[in-house]
Amino acid sequence: MQLRDDQLQALRHMLGIDKPEEKEPTSYRNYYCACLGDPLMNGLRHLGFVRLYRVTEKYEWFLATETGIAAAFASHKRICWPKSKRMYSKFLDLKDCWPDLTFKQFLTDPELAETRKAV
């Protein structure tokens, strides 16, 4: 079954794997809070990608099923940045803490080899 981009984005968000700068995403949650009757989540529920686990006065809480988790992880490859963009993003992150760091230094400094390798 082919899910729409907004459905896949909701699944990735609910698992915390919606960051394109991560090469190998790691899920750190599995929940989604939506307003009562949310059409996006109820559509995913009807298709079997999420299940409802809690309802309050104003909200519904959903969990991704195994099928939803698999679809979310498979779709992450479509949003993942290429290595060059991930590398430059990591450089910018380091530059916030190390203002004098140049991109050339980032790419060649042996002390930063492990950081580059992790990208």
Closest CA to 112 of 97, 23, 24: 97
Whether the predicted pLDDT of 118 surpasses 90: no
Looking at the structure, tell me whether residues 65 and 97 fall in a common domain: no
Whether the predicted pLDDT of 85 surpasses 80: yes
Please count the structural domains in the chain: 2
- The CB-side HSE value for 14 (13 A sphere, CA atoms) comes to 28
Looking at the structure, tell me whether residues 76 and 99 fall in a common domain: no
Looking at the structure, tell me whether residues 9 and 38 fall in a common domain: yes
pTM score, whole prediction: 0.82
Contact 77, 62 (CB under 8 A): no
Whether the predicted pLDDT of 105 surpasses 80: yes
**Distance between CA 25 and CA 65 in Å, rounded?**
18
- For 80, which DSSP code? P
Looking at the structure, tell me whether residues 36 and 62 fall in a common domain: yes
User: Average pLDDT in the 14-43 region?
Assistant: 95
Whether the predicted pLDDT of 87 surpasses 90: yes
Question: What is the structure's pLDDT at 93?
Answer: 93
User: Average pLDDT in the 18-37 region?
Assistant: 94
Domain range for 92 is: 82-119
Q: How confident is the model at residue 57 (pLDDT cuts 50, 70, 90)?
A: very high
Q: How confident is the model at residue 79 (pLDDT cuts 50, 70, 90)?
A: very high
**Distance between CA 25 and CA 73 in Å, rounded?**
8
Looking at the structure, tell me whether residues 74 and 92 fall in a common domain: no
Looking at the structure, tell me whether residues 54 and 41 fall in a common domain: yes
Amino acid letter, residue 8: L
User: Average pLDDT in the 84-107 region?
Assistant: 94
Whether the predicted pLDDT of 1 surpasses 80: no
Looking at the structure, tell me whether residues 27 and 49 fall in a common domain: yes
**Distance between CA 79 and CA 6 in Å, rounded?**
12
